[in-house]
Amino acid sequence: MIEFKNEGFAWLFLLIPLLVAAFALYSYVRRKRLARYGDVGLMKPLMPMASRYRGWFKTILTCIAIFFFVLALMQPRIGEVLAEVQSKGVEVVIALDISNSMLATDFSPSRLERSKMAISRLVEGMKNDRIGLVVFAGDAYMQLPITNDYMSAKIFLNAINPTIVSRQGTDIEKAIALAMKSYSSQSEKSRALIIITDGENQEGNPVETAEIARKDGITIHTIGIGSEQGSPIRLANGDMMKDKNGQIIVSRLDQTTLQQVAAAGGGTCTIANPSDLGLNAVLKNIKEMEKKDLLSTHFKSYFELFYIPLTLALIFLVLDALVLDRKNKILRNLDIFKRRV
């Protein structure tokens, strides 16, 4: 079905009858002026190059060109019908730690960048499931609500960095609490939460909140990224993060809290290594969960057609330019409008 993006330009079609009326008035005034000097029929031999019909022919060509130009401005396009499609899947929320400790370089190029790359690959492997994205440090923020638009998920993922949060720290409890509000009523017990963090500088009581989430049908998986020996934190300007005494801060993985949260949430705790973050194993567990009927909205995908009327408009303008107001010297004896008396 063809529709128009800018229907407001339709009023420009009024230029066509205005142009026709203007040329008709011009022709009428011109004939009246010629009539002042004598009979128009007798004066015709004195004007062998004049043409009575070429002006109207050029006007018609111009009107057609305007018609197609206006169509081009209205941007015709063909799009899919907006529809809701039912499919079976799981709603997955990924809670990603973006505190400064995630800038540590024991995972190349950093814990955070490595996590983002792994999440991107995870999204590419999803089909009927929905995904949401929560980021957290000292506070938690909804970066992307539950959606089946995987392209948007990757775009939002690329924009993540520690500067988008105002408070540092690692409050997993707030991340779980915010994720609990993200799921739709359709998913019921087909809900999964993946928490990716180094677990350091823990705040709140994430284990108790994980137990509540489990009762709400949410299975919580944790992925610990970092090493026990730790790594310095390299800031965006290249400097190493230091404490108030000027000592370089070394960030270490806190496995204990992550294991407790996963146990309370009925999921698994995976400790990442430089060759495998562990998301594939978690995704395998998620795929084994009970699938629920999920309504997903398919947005319109447009194929633009404006170039077709634009091309036609240019063709008619060229034809208009090639047609002269007066007869061609070579073809002046050829009267295509010749009438029998």
- CA atoms within 13 A of residue 169's CA, in its CB half-sphere: 13
Mean per-residue pLDDT of the chain: 80
Asked if 39 and 117 sit in the same domain, the reply is: no
* Average pLDDT rounded to a whole number, residues 179-201: 83
Q: Is the pLDDT of residue 287 over 70?
A: yes
Distance of alpha carbon 126 from alpha carbon 263, whole angstroms? 25
**What pLDDT, on a 0 to 100 scale, did the predictor assign at position 64?**
93
> Is the residue at 336 inside a domain?
no
| Crossing angle (nearest 10°) for helices 206-215 and 255-264 | 20
Residues 201 and 228 grouped into a single domain: yes
Residue 121 is predicted with a pLDDT of 86
**pLDDT tens, residue by residue, 59-78:** 898 999 999 999 999 988 88
Q: Which residue carries 């997955």 as its tokens?
A: 92
Q: Is 341 contained in some domain?
A: no
Whole-Å CA distances, 187 to 19, 80, 142, 217: 61, 27, 19, 9
**Residue 337: its pLDDT value, please?**
47
Same domain as 51, residue 105? no
Q: Could you read off the pLDDT of 70-124 as tens digits, one per residue? A: 999 998 888 665 555 556 678 899 999 988 888 888 888 888 998 999 888 888 8
Determine, yes or no, domain membership for 328: no
Does 201 have pLDDT greater than 70? no
Same domain, 291 and 307: no
In this structure, are 242 and 151 located in the same domain?
Answer: yes
Confidence of residue 340 (pLDDT cuts 50, 70, 90): very low
Number of domains in the chain: 2
Q: Is the pLDDT of residue 158 over 90?
A: no
Residues 49, 171, single domain; the answer is no
Helix axis angle, 111-124 relative to 150-158, nearest 10°? Answer: 170
| Same domain membership, residue 242 and residue 127 | yes
**92: CATH:** 3.40.50.410
User: In Å, what is the CA distance from 221 to each residue of 36, 84, 94, 191, 313?
Assistant: 97, 30, 10, 11, 60
pLDDT attached to residue 339:
46
Instruction: Give the domain range for residue 219.
Output: 84-298
- Whether pLDDT at 341 is above 50: no
Same domain, 58 and 176: no
Q: Which tops the pLDDT comparison, 335 or 223? A: 223
Highest average pLDDT, of 67-81, 141-155, 209-223, 326-340, comes from 209-223
